[in-house]
Amino acid sequence: MIMITKKDFDEVADKDMYYVAKRWDYYKYVIEMIERIQPDSVIELGAYKLPLVKDCDVMDIHPYVENTIIQDANDMPWNIDKEYDLFIGLQCMEHFKDPRAVFQEIKRISKSAIISIPYMWKTSSESHNGLNESTLREWSGVEPASQDIVRRRLIAYYKFEE
């Protein structure tokens, strides 16, 4: 697996304000997690224009990058039959109608997952406010193998039974 670099990030950030510089800190943290896990296959949900793993499959409602599986994550079951070693979903779970059902689909298609949510944010966006470890536990129904807070984002790693 080949990960994006800071240079890749900066090139996209120069053209798109979504990728503000402070976002790199938590991307780097997740990239280091991925490197420790060493998955053979990865799918990333909602990667927008910059998946963390180059040439991985991406699930999104728009084909911003190659290898995109066009799928609204709210529409289940997902049209994915492949099993991935790792599912990545950064800052997306809070946007779904039913995060519990989405998490069940994540478990169906992957052996493990890295999920991040906004940690204890206070914004005008209701879906981002006050999320914490309990929220993620309620959605997932399981305890993560590990979790950490980086740049006000709760990042959790789940290892599912095989």
Within 10 A of 25 (CB to CB), how many other CB atoms are there?
11
Element (H, E) at 135: helix 133-140
Tens-digit pLDDT profile for residues 23-79: 899 999 999 999 999 999 999 999 999 999 999 999 999 999 999 999 999 999 999
Classify domain 2-159 at the CATH topology level: Rossmann fold (3.40.50)
Distance CA 143, CA 84 (A): 20
Q: What is the DSSP letter of 97?
A: S
Tens-digit pLDDT profile for residues 132-148: 999 999 999 999 999 99
Q: Give helix 133-140 / helix 99-109 axis angle, nearest 10°.
A: 60
> Residue 127 has what pLDDT?
74
> Residue 81 has what pLDDT?
86
Q: How many CA atoms lie within 13 A of 30 on its CB side?
A: 31
Whole-model pTM: value is: 0.94
Q: What is the DSSP letter of 84?
A: B
> Residue 58 has what pLDDT?
97
> Residue 11 has what pLDDT?
94
Q: Give the burial class of 62: count Cβ atoms within 10 A of its Cβ; 0-12 exposed, 13-18 middle, 19 or more buried.
A: exposed
Tens-digit pLDDT profile for residues 81-126: 889 999 999 999 999 999 999 999 999 999 999 999 999 878 777 7
Instruction: Give domain limits for the chain.
Output: 2-159
